[in-house]
Protein backbone atom coordinates (compact mmCIF):
# COMPACT_ATOMS: atom_id res chain seq x y z
CA UNK A 1 0.00 0.00 0.00
CA UNK A 2 1.18 3.49 -0.72
CA UNK A 3 1.48 4.56 2.86
CA UNK A 4 4.12 7.24 2.94
CA UNK A 5 2.18 10.29 1.79
CA UNK A 6 2.30 12.20 5.02
CA UNK A 7 -0.63 13.12 7.17
CA UNK A 8 -1.40 16.83 6.82
CA UNK A 9 1.19 18.54 9.05
CA UNK A 10 2.34 15.31 10.75
CA UNK A 11 3.59 15.47 14.34
CA UNK A 12 7.27 14.54 14.88
CA UNK A 13 6.48 10.96 15.90
CA UNK A 14 4.54 10.33 12.67
CA UNK A 15 7.20 12.04 10.54
CA UNK A 16 9.82 9.65 11.92
CA UNK A 17 7.48 6.69 11.42
CA UNK A 18 6.84 7.41 7.74
CA UNK A 19 10.52 8.02 6.99
CA UNK A 20 11.42 4.61 8.41
CA UNK A 21 12.50 2.37 5.47
CA UNK A 22 11.06 -0.65 7.30
CA UNK A 23 7.49 0.67 7.06
CA UNK A 24 5.68 -1.12 4.17
CA UNK A 25 4.96 1.17 1.21
CA UNK A 26 3.43 -1.21 -1.33
CA UNK A 27 0.10 -3.01 -1.51
CA UNK A 28 -1.04 -6.13 -3.30
CA UNK A 29 -1.08 -6.12 -7.11
CA UNK A 30 -4.77 -7.04 -7.38
CA UNK A 31 -5.95 -3.76 -5.87
CA UNK A 32 -3.50 -1.72 -7.93
CA UNK A 33 -4.52 -3.43 -11.17
CA UNK A 34 -8.25 -3.06 -10.54
CA UNK A 35 -7.80 0.62 -9.75
CA UNK A 36 -5.64 1.15 -12.84
CA UNK A 37 -8.31 -0.43 -15.04
CA UNK A 38 -10.94 1.88 -13.56
CA UNK A 39 -8.76 4.89 -14.34
CA UNK A 40 -7.94 3.72 -17.86
CA UNK A 41 -11.65 3.35 -18.63
CA UNK A 42 -12.34 6.82 -17.26
CA UNK A 43 -9.56 8.58 -19.18
CA UNK A 44 -9.76 6.67 -22.45
CA UNK A 45 -6.83 6.33 -24.87
CA UNK A 46 -4.37 9.22 -25.08
CA UNK A 47 -4.66 9.36 -28.87
CA UNK A 48 -8.32 10.37 -28.79
CA UNK A 49 -7.97 13.42 -26.58
CA UNK A 50 -4.24 13.96 -26.10
CA UNK A 51 -2.18 13.09 -23.02
CA UNK A 52 -3.75 13.64 -19.61
CA UNK A 53 -1.87 14.45 -16.40
CA UNK A 54 -2.30 11.84 -13.66
CA UNK A 55 -0.93 12.46 -10.16
CA UNK A 56 -0.27 9.46 -7.93
CA UNK A 57 -0.47 11.22 -4.57
CA UNK A 58 1.13 9.11 -1.88
CA UNK A 59 2.96 7.07 -4.49
CA UNK A 60 5.12 5.28 -1.92
CA UNK A 61 7.74 3.21 -3.70
CA UNK A 62 5.98 3.70 -7.05
CA UNK A 63 4.58 0.18 -7.30
CA UNK A 64 0.96 1.21 -7.87
CA UNK A 65 1.88 3.80 -10.51
CA UNK A 66 4.19 1.33 -12.25
CA UNK A 67 1.33 -1.18 -12.35
CA UNK A 68 -0.94 1.45 -13.89
CA UNK A 69 1.59 2.75 -16.42
CA UNK A 70 1.05 0.05 -19.12
CA UNK A 71 -2.69 0.81 -19.08
CA UNK A 72 -2.10 4.57 -19.28
CA UNK A 73 0.30 4.72 -22.21
CA UNK A 74 0.54 8.20 -23.67
CA UNK A 75 -0.68 9.87 -20.48
CA UNK A 76 1.64 11.78 -18.13
CA UNK A 77 2.02 9.95 -14.80
CA UNK A 78 3.66 11.82 -11.89
CA UNK A 79 4.38 10.29 -8.49
CA UNK A 80 4.05 12.52 -5.44
CA UNK A 81 5.08 11.68 -1.90
CA UNK A 82 6.15 13.37 1.31
CA UNK A 83 8.77 10.79 2.30
CA UNK A 84 12.23 11.25 0.79
CA UNK A 85 12.95 7.56 1.34
CA UNK A 86 9.86 6.57 -0.63
CA UNK A 87 10.70 9.00 -3.44
CA UNK A 88 14.18 7.51 -3.78
CA UNK A 89 12.59 4.13 -4.43
CA UNK A 90 9.81 5.52 -6.61
CA UNK A 91 12.31 7.16 -8.97
CA UNK A 92 13.59 3.72 -9.93
CA UNK A 93 10.12 2.92 -11.33
CA UNK A 94 8.72 6.25 -12.50
CA UNK A 95 10.05 8.94 -14.87
CA UNK A 96 8.64 11.69 -12.65
CA UNK A 97 8.45 11.65 -8.84
CA UNK A 98 8.32 14.87 -6.82
CA UNK A 99 8.04 15.79 -3.17
CA UNK A 100 4.73 17.23 -2.04
CA UNK A 101 2.40 17.21 0.92
CA UNK A 102 -1.31 17.62 1.44
CA UNK A 103 -0.92 20.01 4.35
CA UNK A 104 1.36 22.95 4.99
CA UNK A 105 2.22 24.62 1.72
CA UNK A 106 0.17 22.18 -0.33
CA UNK A 107 1.01 20.28 -3.50
CA UNK A 108 3.47 21.81 -6.00
CA UNK A 109 0.88 22.02 -8.80
CA UNK A 110 -1.31 24.82 -10.12
CA UNK A 111 -5.03 24.78 -9.51
CA UNK A 112 -6.91 22.74 -12.11
CA UNK A 113 -3.71 21.33 -13.61
CA UNK A 114 -4.42 17.60 -13.15
CA UNK A 115 -6.88 15.43 -15.05
CA UNK A 116 -6.86 12.59 -12.54
CA UNK A 117 -5.54 11.70 -9.10
CA UNK A 118 -4.65 8.24 -7.86
CA UNK A 119 -5.03 8.17 -4.08
CA UNK A 120 -4.20 4.61 -3.10
CA UNK A 121 -4.21 3.50 0.54
CA UNK A 122 -3.45 7.01 1.81
CA UNK A 123 -6.69 8.29 3.32
CA UNK A 124 -6.46 5.95 6.31
CA UNK A 125 -3.10 7.51 7.30
CA UNK A 126 -4.18 11.15 7.44
CA UNK A 127 -4.61 13.34 10.49
CA UNK A 128 -6.72 15.80 8.46
CA UNK A 129 -8.48 14.00 5.57
CA UNK A 130 -10.80 16.98 4.98
CA UNK A 131 -7.87 19.26 4.13
CA UNK A 132 -6.38 16.52 1.96
CA UNK A 133 -9.48 16.22 -0.24
CA UNK A 134 -9.72 20.02 -0.40
CA UNK A 135 -6.18 20.11 -1.81
CA UNK A 136 -6.87 17.28 -4.25
CA UNK A 137 -9.98 19.09 -5.43
CA UNK A 138 -7.90 22.24 -5.96
CA UNK A 139 -5.37 20.58 -8.28
CA UNK A 140 -8.02 18.69 -10.28
CA UNK A 141 -9.69 20.36 -13.22
CA UNK A 142 -13.52 20.55 -13.15
CA UNK A 143 -14.76 17.07 -13.99
CA UNK A 144 -11.35 15.57 -13.15
CA UNK A 145 -11.19 12.03 -11.81
CA UNK A 146 -10.36 10.87 -8.29
CA UNK A 147 -9.47 7.18 -7.91
CA UNK A 148 -9.33 6.45 -4.20
CA UNK A 149 -8.72 3.17 -2.40
CA UNK A 150 -8.80 2.45 1.32
CA UNK A 151 -9.36 -0.56 3.61
CA UNK A 152 -12.93 -1.36 4.57
CA UNK A 153 -13.68 -1.24 8.29
CA UNK A 154 -16.77 -3.38 7.64
CA UNK A 155 -14.97 -6.09 5.64
CA UNK A 156 -16.67 -9.47 5.98
CA UNK A 157 -14.12 -10.87 8.45
CA UNK A 158 -14.03 -7.66 10.53
CA UNK A 159 -17.74 -8.06 11.23
CA UNK A 160 -17.06 -11.53 12.64
CA UNK A 161 -14.02 -10.34 14.60
CA UNK A 162 -15.97 -7.53 16.25
CA UNK A 163 -18.72 -9.94 17.26
CA UNK A 164 -16.00 -12.03 18.93
CA UNK A 165 -14.60 -8.97 20.69
CA UNK A 166 -11.44 -8.85 18.55
CA UNK A 167 -9.90 -5.62 17.21
CA UNK A 168 -10.68 -5.31 13.45
CA UNK A 169 -8.03 -5.99 10.82
CA UNK A 170 -6.53 -2.72 9.44
CA UNK A 171 -7.14 -0.89 12.74
CA UNK A 172 -4.17 0.02 14.95
CA UNK A 173 -3.93 1.32 18.49
CA UNK A 174 -0.16 1.92 18.53
CA UNK A 175 2.68 2.92 16.19
CA UNK A 176 5.02 0.49 17.98
CA UNK A 177 3.27 -2.88 17.81
CA UNK A 178 0.01 -4.67 17.05
CA UNK A 179 -2.42 -5.22 19.92
CA UNK A 180 -5.67 -7.17 19.99
CA UNK A 181 -5.97 -8.18 16.35
CA UNK A 182 -4.48 -10.60 13.79
CA UNK A 183 -1.35 -9.57 11.90
CA UNK A 184 2.14 -8.35 12.77
CA UNK A 185 2.91 -5.26 10.64
CA UNK A 186 2.34 -1.74 11.92
CA UNK A 187 1.59 0.58 8.98
CA UNK A 188 0.20 3.71 10.64
CA UNK A 189 -3.55 3.55 10.07
CA UNK A 190 -5.32 6.43 11.81
CA UNK A 191 -8.81 6.34 10.24
CA UNK A 192 -10.99 3.62 8.75
CA UNK A 193 -14.13 3.91 6.61
CA UNK A 194 -17.15 1.81 5.77
CA UNK A 195 -18.52 1.98 2.22
CA UNK A 196 -21.33 4.28 3.33
CA UNK A 197 -19.04 6.60 5.28
CA UNK A 198 -16.59 6.85 2.38
CA UNK A 199 -19.31 7.77 -0.10
CA UNK A 200 -20.72 10.44 2.19
CA UNK A 201 -17.31 11.87 3.06
CA UNK A 202 -16.16 12.17 -0.55
CA UNK A 203 -19.48 13.69 -1.66
CA UNK A 204 -19.33 16.24 1.17
CA UNK A 205 -15.84 17.24 -0.04
CA UNK A 206 -17.13 18.49 -3.40
CA UNK A 207 -16.98 15.33 -5.52
CA UNK A 208 -19.63 13.34 -7.35
CA UNK A 209 -19.27 9.62 -6.66
CA UNK A 210 -19.35 7.63 -9.92
CA UNK A 211 -18.88 4.10 -8.67
CA UNK A 212 -17.68 2.08 -5.69
CA UNK A 213 -16.13 -1.34 -6.18
CA UNK A 214 -14.41 -3.92 -3.98
CA UNK A 215 -10.94 -5.48 -4.14
CA UNK A 216 -9.32 -8.37 -2.23
CA UNK A 217 -6.65 -7.98 0.44
CA UNK A 218 -3.33 -9.70 -0.14
CA UNK A 219 -2.94 -10.39 3.59
CA UNK A 220 -5.97 -12.69 3.86
CA UNK A 221 -4.89 -16.29 4.65
CA UNK A 222 -4.72 -18.43 1.51
CA UNK A 223 -7.55 -20.72 2.57
CA UNK A 224 -9.92 -17.72 2.89
CA UNK A 225 -8.96 -15.96 -0.35
CA UNK A 226 -11.81 -17.46 -2.43
CA UNK A 227 -14.27 -15.96 0.07
CA UNK A 228 -12.44 -12.65 -0.07
CA UNK A 229 -12.65 -12.54 -3.86
CA UNK A 230 -16.35 -13.45 -3.67
CA UNK A 231 -16.96 -10.55 -1.27
CA UNK A 232 -15.71 -8.10 -3.92
CA UNK A 233 -19.11 -8.47 -5.59
CA UNK A 234 -20.62 -6.63 -2.62
CA UNK A 235 -18.34 -3.64 -1.95
CA UNK A 236 -19.78 -3.08 1.53
CA UNK A 237 -18.29 -6.48 2.50
CA UNK A 238 -15.05 -6.30 0.49
CA UNK A 239 -11.60 -5.98 2.05
CA UNK A 240 -10.64 -2.89 0.04
CA UNK A 241 -12.91 -0.08 -1.20
CA UNK A 242 -12.18 1.35 -4.68
CA UNK A 243 -14.01 4.61 -5.27
CA UNK A 244 -14.20 6.60 -8.51
CA UNK A 245 -15.41 10.18 -8.14
CA UNK A 246 -15.29 13.32 -10.26
CA UNK A 247 -14.69 16.87 -9.17
CA UNK A 248 -18.08 18.58 -9.07
Distance in angstroms (rounded) separating the CA atoms of residues 82 and 72: 24
Whether the per-residue pLDDT at 233 is higher than 60: the answer is: yes
C-alpha distances out from residue 166 to 49, 106, 144, 162, 209, Å: 50, 38, 40, 5, 32
- Detail the DSSP E strand segments found in the chain: 53-57, 76-81, 97-99, 114-120, 140-151, 207-215, 240-247
pLDDT more than 90, % of the chain: 72
pLDDT the model gives residue 17: 55
Mean pLDDT taken over the chain:
89
- Check pLDDT > 60 for residue 11: no
Q: Which residues contact 222 (CB under 8 A, 6 or more apart)?
A: none
- Looking at residue 219, the DSSP 8-state letter turns out to be T
Report angle CA 72, 219, 101 to the nearest 5 degrees.
50
Q: SS3 for 193? A: strand
Q: How confident is the model at residue 82 (pLDDT cuts 50, 70, 90)?
A: confident
Spatial distance between the Cα atoms of 91 and 179, rounded to a whole number of angstroms: 35
- What number is the average pLDDT over the span 38-65? 89
- Region 48-57: mean pLDDT is 88
pTM: 0.88
When pLDDT is cut at 50, 70 and 90, the band that residue 133 belongs to is very high
Q: What is the pLDDT of residues 86-109, one digit of tens each?
A: 899 999 999 999 999 887 778 999
| pLDDT of residue 16 exceeding 80 | no
Amino acid sequence: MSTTASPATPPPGLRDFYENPAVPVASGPSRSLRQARMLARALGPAGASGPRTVLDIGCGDGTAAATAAPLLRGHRLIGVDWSQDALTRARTRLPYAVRGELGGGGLPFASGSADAVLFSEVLEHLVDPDAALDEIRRVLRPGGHLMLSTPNLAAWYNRALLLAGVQPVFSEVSLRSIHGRPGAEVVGHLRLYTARALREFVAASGFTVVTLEGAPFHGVPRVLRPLDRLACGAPSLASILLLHARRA
